Amino acid sequence: MSGVVVLGGAGGIGSAVVSELLGEGRPVVAVDIAPPPPEHVDVPWIQGDATDPAVVGAAFDTLGSVTGLVHCLLSEHRAPFTEQTTDALRRVLDVGAVSALEPLHQLIARAGGRPCAAVLVSSIHAGLAWGGQAPYAMAKAALEALGRAAAVELGPRGLRCNVVRPGFVKVPRNAHRWQDAATRDALTGLQPLGELAEPEDVARVIAFLLGDRARFVSGETVTVDGAMTAALPEPPAPSRTS
């Protein structure tokens, strides 16, 4: 079975993807600027900047036969809109969106005409606005656009490219929110399913999209948020007076 390159393998969702793919018996190489977490010390690991083409190339070289790619990189610059700078914006876009281009080129080249699949991990921020997160939202929207373009233009060369758009997921970088009881209850209250997503919930969808059972799914954005963004908030009912 040919392998998968996972960019951002040390993050909450990225690490869950590595575990899920290993559980399916797929060879995996992970790339991250951080070292591997304890549960993945035996996984082939390229510690370096995944925006560097040389680092990406080293990852593909590690496995030799690669027909799968997961892009799970992000950068943020949280600040009010009027305090955002072009330099900060470019950096967030470079990490969150532009960095997917070279790996997609590599995947097509290494697959050599064989069917291959890529999944780009976006966010519900791509379609919604939240104060202080303009660069992040822009990067995720750009990533989704890149994924659609890749599916259309590279489909004739065997590529299926899809996007997964998670909602709020319990990952280490936002632990300060879901470990606080009041904040966790407020977040859970926004979820029609009545619970918060685990990284594994997203990883299973990604693994499905990489696999043969999704052989005719391409150019799609799959939202994994438990219907949170499907819910229309109800206005408060008018008070009744006698």
What pLDDT score does 130 carry?
84
What pLDDT digit, counting tens, does each position of 1-50 carry? 689 999 999 999 999 999 999 999 999 999 999 999 999 999 999 999 99
Taking CB atoms within 8 Å and a gap of at least 24, the contacts of 39-45 are 39/15, 40/9, 40/15, 43/9, 43/18, 45/9
| Predicted confidence (pLDDT) at residue 234 exceeds the cutoff of 80 | no
What pLDDT score does 132 carry?
87
| Pair of tokens at residue 183 | 């904040």
What pLDDT score does 139 carry?
96
At residue 227, the 3 state secondary structure works out as coil
Q: What is the mean pLDDT of residues 104-115?
A: 95
Determine the Cα–Cα distance for residues 69 and 154; give it in Å rounded to an integer: 14
What pLDDT score does 1 carry?
65
| Residue 188: CB atoms within 10 Å | 14
What pLDDT score does 179 carry?
77
| Predicted confidence (pLDDT) at residue 87 exceeds the cutoff of 70 | yes
Of the candidates 63, 61, 70, 57, which has an alpha carbon nearest to the alpha carbon of residue 43?
63
Active site residues: 136
Of 106 and 236, the structure prediction assigns the larger pLDDT to 106
Determine the Cα–Cα distance for residues 122 and 141; give it in Å rounded to an integer: 8
Q: Around 49, how many Cα atoms within 13 Å sit in the side-chain half-sphere?
A: 9
Query: Using an 8 Å Cβ cutoff, are 32 and 59 in contact?
Result: no
Sheet of 116-121, strand order? 45-47, 28-32, 3-7, 66-71, 116-121, 159-166, 221-224
| Predicted confidence (pLDDT) at residue 70 exceeds the cutoff of 70 | yes
Mean pLDDT, the chain, whole residue set: 92
Percentage with pLDDT > 70 across the chain: 98
What pLDDT digit, counting tens, does each position of 160-170 carry? 999 999 998 88
